[in-house]
Chain A
């Protein structure tokens, strides 16, 4: 029972973490808050709908590509021109506008009701047992995908040329460009990766719930914001840990019959955390990248 609860919590937490990691990556490297991020997550869910006839493998690639491309669009439409320090709010608002457009377009195509996945059942919802604990295949898929994606991000940042350039820009765009780093290309790479992770999270979320809906962006986005604040804005480890902890806490709250209250968990946790540590669990801010993703 307890183990099952823990697993449920970790699975939700993995999804939170995936969204929050992408969200916080843009803050950590570029010092920008991308309010279109949750809507890219939402669109990831509809990738699951569109690709439902194909092997799941394709859906993952499609979500990654769709999310990444949307990230490039968002960077161009909402952030490219607003580079001054005092244009940060303008850029945030512009990204919110892009997010609203994405929601509207999705509703034009798929309607405002949630769309269930045609073969949402099948293999993903099959159960199996290990040592008396029951698992769903989709839970394993979510945990594995999250591990691979965040592990991949870690390797990208720590071991590759692009990763070194990203870390350099995170610390100082001027110093980086004096070393020949193209800051614009790095921004694009960061938006691409961040949004690709969001779309993957949306895909996984849709696979778990068996449906995609155009109104999850706001709820999920606000939650991810709170999780980022708990973890420390811009810190990948913090987002990861915060996501998992909130997922587990929510599962237990729900179990205790505090169903309604479980939605408040994340906010209570945020208030308490920030009262104790005003800058979040890991207050490394933009410098949190060299630690674990």
Chain B
């Protein structure tokens, strides 16, 4: 059987007096793709931040590859293979596209040379090749999102934490991004995905967890959840392509 990458038990976290997460328990196995869905303010971003060590756990336990996440700093987790692509992308605006990619590649020594990794990323996102020397801050929102995903392609993490990768993207670019994610998934990268476009998220992931006010309200295999009338009513709505809430805010941008 596959082994557990990420193991979370009774996790609580928040911001001072605000208890955003109140006892979450779940696991992500190697090569598994798990989606987390939930309304705005449910605590999805907070969960990602707690897992990657940006904010401390106030209670409970979490471990990644056997390392206790409490007391392991963000950069150690990243080097161990957890790549958190935060809401608002976390690309380095003053650095060139290529420097962003090189930074992501350098951190994790792999057999792949930077040139090869770069070719692959540019092959997927030709726009980025055209803009390679541009500062990331001069890219359009969609191009920056491509850069954030391209960074994951060159970093080759064990576990990818993705917070709303389709935010601000056109339907066509959303398709491109999800194709890349499917490729990563098929290459064996485990993915924990937060996504407003629930339909797409459930297509990509094997299973999903529904987060509501800091606790899991439901969970199960994606195909079951996508047939669940309650889920359909709350998150899938009538429309077929547009996400239920195509928001563009970057209020929770972790960059200072």
Contacts and interface: CB of A to CB of B under 8 A. Distances in A.
Interface string A122-163: 000000000000000000000000000000000000000100
Interface residues of B, number: 30
Nearest to A161: B106
A164 interface: yes
B97 to A, nearest CB: 13
A165 B78 contact: no
A249 B73 CA distance: 49
B38 interface: no
B72 to A, nearest CB: 12
Contact of A164 (B52, B74, B95, B256): B95
B182 to A, nearest CB: 23
Interface in A214-243: none
Contacts of B106: 161, 164
Contacts of B73: 177, 182
B24 interface: no
Nearest to B93: A171
Interface residues of A, number: 22
Nearest to A31: B256
Given A171-B95, A172-B256, A290-B135, A180 B102 contact: no
B183 to A, nearest CB: 21
A183 B54 CA distance: 13
B187 to A, nearest CB: 20
B83 A167 contact: no
Given A164-B106, A173-B256, A183-B75, A178 B90 contact: yes
15 contacts: A161-B106, A167-B92, A172-B92, A174-B90, A175-B254, A176-B92, A179-B103, A179-B104, A179-B155, A180-B75, A180-B79, A180-B107, A287-B93, A287-B94, A290-B135
Interface of B: 52, 54, 73-75, 78-79, 83-84, 86, 90-96, 99, 102-104, 106-108, 135, 151, 155, 254-256
